[in-house]
Amino acid sequence: MGEIKLLDCTLRDGGYINNWKFGKETITGILDRLSMAEIDLIECGFITEKTVNDNYSLFADADSVNEYIKQPSAKSMYVAMIAIGEKEINPELICNASDTIIDGIRITFHPDEIKKAFEWANILKKKGYKVFVQPVGSANYDDELILDILKKVNQLKPFAFYIVDTLGAMSENDMMHMLHIIDRNLDENVKLGYHSHNNLQLAFANAKRMMEFGTNRDVIIDCSVYGMGRGAGNLCTELMVDYMKKRYNKKYDAVPILEIVDNYLLPIYMQRKWGYSIEYFLASSLDCHPNYVSFLMDKQNIPVRVIRNMLEQIPKEKRLRYDAKTISDIYNKYQNNYVDDKEEIARLRSEFKGKEVLIIGSGKSVKTKSEKIQKYIEKNKPKVISINFVPSLKTDMVFIANQKRFEMIRESLDMKNVICTSNIKGDLSDGHVVNYSALLNSGNIVSDSSGMMLLKLLKRLKVLKVAVAGMDGFKKNYLDNYCEKRFLHEEDNATLREKNREMREQFKLIKKEISVEFITPSKYCDK
pTM over 0.85: no
Nearest alpha carbon to residue 160 among 132, 129, 180: 132
Q: How far, in Å, CA of 521 to CA of 52, rounded?
A: 38
Which residue stretches of 389-460 are H helix? 403-409, 450-460
**142-151 CB contacts, 8 Å cutoff, 24+ apart:** 143/181, 145/111, 146/178, 146/181, 146/182, 147/181, 147/185, 149/114, 150/182, 150/185, 150/186
Strands (DSSP E) contained in 444-518 are 465-469, 515-518
Nearest alpha carbon to residue 157 among 181, 189, 184: 189
Q: How far, in Å, CA of 389 to CA of 514, rounded?
A: 24
Q: How far, in Å, CA of 382 to CA of 373, rounded?
A: 11
Strands (DSSP E) contained in 29-76 are 41-47, 58-59
Q: pLDDT (tens digit, 0 to 9) for every residue of the chain, 527 residues total? A: 789 999 999 999 999 999 999 999 999 999 999 999 999 999 999 999 988 899 999 999 999 999 999 788 999 999 999 999 999 999 999 999 999 999 999 999 999 999 999 999 999 999 999 999 999 999 889 999 999 999 999 999 999 999 999 989 899 999 999 999 999 999 999 999 999 999 999 999 999 999 999 899 999 999 999 999 987 899 999 999 999 999 999 999 999 999 999 999 999 998 888 998 888 888 888 989 888 988 898 888 888 888 999 999 999 889 988 999 999 999 988 888 889 999 999 999 999 999 999 999 999 999 999 999 999 999 999 999 999 999 999 999 999 999 999 999 999 999 999 999 999 999 999 999 999 999 998 877 888 999 999 999 999 999 999 999 999 999 888 788 898 888 887 777 778 889 999 999 999 999 999 999 999 999 998 65
Radius of gyration of the chain from Cα atoms? 27
Containing 387, the helix (H) or strand (E) segment is strand 383-387
> Residue 94 in contact with residue 65, Cβ under 8 Å?
no
Nearest alpha carbon to residue 230 among 35, 132, 87: 87
Nearest alpha carbon to residue 422 among 400, 407, 454, 445: 400
CA angle 519, 523, 524 (to 5 degrees): 75
Between the CA of residue 453 and those of 283, 326, 510, what are the distances in Å? 30, 24, 11
pLDDT at 359: 97
> Residue 114 in contact with residue 89, Cβ under 8 Å?
no
Q: Where in the chain is the domain with CATH 3.20.20.70?
A: 4-271
Q: How far, in Å, CA of 469 to CA of 366, rounded?
A: 7
Strands (DSSP E) contained in 68-129 are 77-83, 104-109
Q: How far, in Å, CA of 511 to CA of 456, rounded?
A: 11
Nearest alpha carbon to residue 192 among 229, 226, 156, 164: 164
pLDDT at 527: 54
Containing 133, the helix (H) or strand (E) segment is strand 130-135
Q: How far, in Å, CA of 462 to CA of 481, rounded?
A: 30
Q: Which fold has domain 4-271?
A: TIM Barrel (3.20.20)
| Strands 160-164 and 397-400, bridge-based pairing | unpaired
